[in-house]
Amino acid sequence: MPVVVNPALILFETHLTTLAPTDILILALYFVLVIFIGFYVKGSTNTSEEFFLAGREMSAWIAGLSFVSANLGSLELMGWAGAAYQYGILATHWYWIGAIPAMLFLGIVMMPFYYISKTHSVPGYLHLRFGEGTRALSAVSFALMTILMSGVNMYAMAVVMQTVLGWNITFSIWVGAGTVALYVMLGGLRSAIINEVLQFVLIWAGAAMVPILGLMEAHGWNNLKAQIATNVGNANYTHLWSTLGHFKDNPMGVHWTGIVFGLSCVISFGYWTTDFLVVQRVLSANNLRAARMAPVIGAAFKMAVPLIVILPGLIALGLHNADGSVVYHLVPASVAKGTGQHSYDDVLPLLLIRYCGPGLLGLGITALVAGFMSGMAGNVSAFSTVWTYDIYGAFFNKKASDQHYVSMGRWSTVVGMLISIGTAYLVMNADSIMDYVQALFSFFIAPLFGTVILGMLWKRTTKAGGFWGLLAGTVASIGMFAWVHADASALRYIAMSPDAQPMAENLYRALWSWLICVGVTIAVSLVTKPTPIEALTGLVYGATALPDDGATSLWQKPTFWAAVVLVVFLIVNIALF
Amino acid sequence: MSKNKPGRDDRRGIHAVDPQSYPKQRQELSLWFFCGILLLSYGLILIVHGIYERFGHQPATVLAALHPTLWWGILLAAGGAFYTLRFRPRSR
């Protein structure tokens, strides 16, 4: 794969601010602690179960926070703050309807099957349910996706360091990648999970001052909404649902069907229930009840993340100077490269500099670095597991010792990180980080969700049906992506409207690829020989006696807390309708 | 890293040993202890810097007059101190 480096970026010298000694001390403390944790847990990661699944001994709280934190990478912090500036409060859908129902579904419906099957990975579940072919397809596509995602995280971190501090982009990439590779290689998933929880706490400690001070400057939420309406000329940027009746009525150019069916029912369910990066965290839980509670706890915290990601974007959109002119005029990254203006993705660093002096700035920058490193660690630890169990152990060396697989896990962490570094340089030429990530999601995640959900809930699904459905969905997704990139007018057919914008393309492409996967799976299953019911025990609803999770009171029941989260979710959506 | 409460079933069996037979066994550090230490350290650094800012070194940031560094430092130090003490390693 050719790696093209933009020399202008490497030699870029201008920057927004510099770190004071206090800031450097804060950043250095963080690096020292995460590396210490890597060395500290190395002694307790000797077996493959300990290295790849953290010994399956995490509590619900730790697994739940890690579940959310593994997702707090560049996409979350930089991308969605920029998206909030660009599209307004509609970006919140990616946190609420685009996450909460799926996370609750994972905990309540799907987790028992993942957990009692004792699988090491999602491709591992597919192996048990559909055989080697489906596992291979899923494992290879997942490994590819995680490496690319890790590269995206790495690149995003380097851009932040360059934009804010003027650090050389190559220096940032290698320091971030080296640190993550070291602590994941030493402590495996255990080390990654501990650091992810630490990073989650740090992200809140470092980023919370921006929305707090931003709301104080804007004189409260109601004034901020009024200021946004004045700055952009309409009130469409602060409504979650009321502008989704037509593609033309909202800044994102999407329709509510795309949000509900494309984003929520397909992309989000696909990501949160079948992406091994996040599911791996829950598989590390120490019992079934903890495994079911972890996604519920994660959902509760996920609902609060827009406060530190979406709200800053809205604050930047609503701020104005004393003469009434807007404070920030941000542009797309492609334009910013040519004009030297700030891009949408710069919104969070710009606000950090606006509100945070020495000390607080260091904490905010450390929070951003922690978020990016969390994303990288999540990807590389998941890659290491899938490579070792589902590719190397399944197809190249089936009978190696447990120690050999642990060693392979450590080395694949390093190699995976090196490939990610190559990817980071490649991403420099992508116009938008967000488009890149969205495209990846719909290539693999949407069809995979179709395969897993049919395999888990429908006994009649056969091995051939699972394989051909997954293949057809993935190929269809890539085909639609290529079609629209070759001919932009094709978007009207994918999204079924001439007014659709690129974001709508991602949602509808995911929906179509899922439907194609499900359709092919059902059709092929119905014409092939059914799998004997005894072979489905522990894998499929209706063929499995679900064990009691041990809850003895209402307060211990995951379903009760899932209902509480769901009620809060409905209230906030109605309040911002 | 101790995630399980003592006495609870543990697949690796590290808590299944008789504590009396290993009186000097190392207590594994809790994850929450690490969180507490980090927040406490950051809180103390911010408090020191916040006090420094109070005496004529106010940064040129918006709303600096509210002394956010000092107040946030106090909040982090209090939370960090609680977690550090609550989950500190104790001899068995």
What's the pLDDT tens digit per position in A217-268? 999 999 999 999 999 888 889 999 999 998 888 888 889 998 999 899 988 9
Instruction: Summarize pLDDT for A352-361 with one digit per residue, the tens.
Output: 999 999 999 9
A503-527: average pLDDT = 91
Give the whole-angstrom CA distance, residue B43 versus residue B26.
29
The pLDDT of residue A441 is 63
Residues 6+ apart with CB under 8 A from A294: A58, A60, A61, A63, A64, A67, A107, A281, A282, A285
Q: Quick check: A393 pLDDT over 50? A: yes
Nearest C-alpha neighbor of A378 from the set A68, A59, A36: A68
The pLDDT of residue A436 is 60
The pLDDT of residue A247 is 86
Q: Quick check: A388 pLDDT over 60? A: yes
Per this entry, what is the length of chain B? 92
Give the whole-angstrom CA distance, residue A380 versus residue A143.
9
A536-555: average pLDDT = 86
* Chain B CB contacts of A202 below 8 Å: 38
Please tell me whether residue A343 adopts helix, strand or coil conformation: strand
Q: Quick check: A450 pLDDT over 50? A: yes
Instruction: Summarize pLDDT for A40-54 with one digit per residue, the tens.
Output: 988 888 888 889 988
Q: Which residues of chain B have pLDDT under 70?
A: 1-27, 91-92
* Chain A CB contacts of B61 below 8 Å: 353-357
Is A62 within 8 Å of B69 when comparing Cβ atoms?
no
Nearest C-alpha neighbor of A115 from the set A297, A278, A285: A285
- Token couple for A442: 């719909």
pLDDT above 70: percentage of residues in chain A:
95
The pLDDT of residue A442 is 65
A540-557: average pLDDT = 86
Mean pLDDT of chain A: 88
CA distances from A407 to A187, A385, A401 (A): 12, 12, 10
Q: How far B20 CA lies from chain A's nearest CA (Å)?
A: 22
Give the whole-angstrom CA distance, residue A213 versus residue A307.
12
Is A286 within 8 Å of B4 when comparing Cβ atoms?
yes
* Chain A CB contacts of B72 below 8 Å: 209, 360, 363
Give the whole-angstrom CA distance, residue A168 versus residue A361.
19
Give the whole-angstrom CA distance, residue A208 versus residue A306.
11
Give the whole-angstrom CA distance, residue A356 versus residue A209.
8
The pLDDT of residue A300 is 96
Mutate to test the interface with B, among A30, A45, A57, A354 (most CBs of B within 10 A): A57
Residues 6+ apart with CB under 8 A from A451: A126, A130, A134, A138, A466, A469, A470, A473, A517, A521
The pLDDT of residue A4 is 33
A60-67: average pLDDT = 93
pTM score of the predicted model: 0.86
A509-532: average pLDDT = 94
Per this entry, what is the length of chain A? 577
Is B61 within 8 Å of A357 when comparing Cβ atoms?
yes
Is A59 within 8 Å of B59 when comparing Cβ atoms?
no
Is A360 within 8 Å of B69 when comparing Cβ atoms?
yes
Q: Quick check: A74 pLDDT over 80? A: no
CA distances from A67 to A52, A78, A132, A275, A308 (A): 15, 19, 28, 11, 18
**Burial zone of A525 (CB within 10 Å; 0-12 exposed, 13-18 middle, 19+ buried):** buried
* Band of residue A1 on the pLDDT scale cut at 50, 70, 90: very low
A185-191: average pLDDT = 89
Task: Give the burial string for A144-178 (b: 16+ CB within 10 Å, else e).
Answer: bbbbbbbbbbbbbbbbbbbbbbebbbbebbebbbe
Nearest C-alpha neighbor of A12 from the set A126, A218, A165: A165
Please tell me whether residue A58 adopts helix, strand or coil conformation: strand
A146-158: average pLDDT = 80
Residues 6+ apart with CB under 8 A from A457: A540, A541
A186-204: average pLDDT = 89
Position A378: which residue type? G
The pLDDT of residue A260 is 93
- Token couple for A345: 């993705």
Listed as own residue / partner, the contacts of A167-172 with beta carbons closer than 8 Å and 24 or more positions apart are A167/A15, A168/A10, A169/A9, A169/A10, A169/A12, A170/A10
Mutate to test the interface with A, among B37, B39, B61 (most CBs of A within 10 A): B61
- Token couple for A360: 């607080």
The pLDDT of residue A118 is 81
Nearest C-alpha neighbor of A344 from the set A227, A440, A432, A212: A432
The pLDDT of residue B91 is 62
The pLDDT of residue A6 is 37
Is B61 within 8 Å of A217 when comparing Cβ atoms?
no
Q: Quick check: A465 pLDDT over 90? A: yes
Give the whole-angstrom CA distance, residue B76 versus residue B82.
10
ipTM of this complex: 0.85
Give the whole-angstrom CA distance, residue B67 versus residue A209.
12
DSSP A490: G
> How many CB atoms are closer than 10 A to CB A118?
13
Give the whole-angstrom CA distance, residue A549 versus residue A478.
41
A461-481: average pLDDT = 93
DSSP A373: H
Q: Residues A449, A273: contact at Cβ < 8 Å? A: yes
* Band of residue A75 on the pLDDT scale cut at 50, 70, 90: low
The pLDDT of residue B5 is 35
Q: Residues A386, A395: contact at Cβ < 8 Å? A: no
Q: Quick check: A487 pLDDT over 60? A: yes
Is A359 within 8 Å of B37 when comparing Cβ atoms?
no
The pLDDT of residue A437 is 59
pLDDT above 90: percentage of residues in chain A:
50
**CA A164-A308-A250 angle, 5° bins:** 100
